[in-house]
Structure formats: structure tokens, C-alpha cells
Amino acid sequence: MKLTLQRADEFNSDFDQQYRWYLEQAGEEVAGRFLNAVPVTLHLLAEQSDLGRRRKFRHPMLRDLYSFQVERPFNKILIF
């Protein structure tokens, strides 16, 4: 089942901040790869909504939340 993903303002802010960090710390090439990796990962999640790891938070609003790693080499970054 294909999902429509929505990017919250917080997501956009985090994404922009991370992109700027890569740009300043690692240069244009790495920052550009990050700029491409996140949308590719989001598209994959939209196409296959059952991907990811189910998280077990105690707070009721966070129950059944899933996370998924951005594609390599940015796989330490999680999308929830």
C-alpha cells in the first residue's frame, strides 16, 4: 500500500540543518549525496510502509511508532 508522506516543519528544519552541517564539514559532494539520499529513502518508505523497526516507547502517543534508516552512508540518521 502506497502512503502519502507529509514533511512536518520540524522535519524540514532538521533536514536543512543536517544538510548545512554536511556542507560545512564534509563539502558539496557529501552534502549533495545526503540531499539525494533522504528523498530516496522517503520514496521507499512511501512505497513499502511496512519497512522499518517498530519502536517500543511507553508514551501512548508514541506506541507503534516505526523508524527507518536513511540509505547508506547516512544510515545513522533515522526517519520516524
pLDDT tens digits, one per residue of 2-51:
778 888 999 999 999 999 999 999 999 999 999 999 999 999 999 987 88
pTM exceeds cut of 0.75: yes
Higher pLDDT, 64 or 9: 9
Give pLDDT, residue 65. Answer: 86
Give pLDDT, residue 1. Answer: 64
Q: What is the 3-state secondary structure (H, E, C) of 3-72?
A: CCCCCCHHHHHHHHHHHHHHHHHHCHHHHHHHHHHHHHHHHHHHHCCCCCEECCCCCHHHCCCEEEECCC
pLDDT of 72 > 70? The answer is: yes
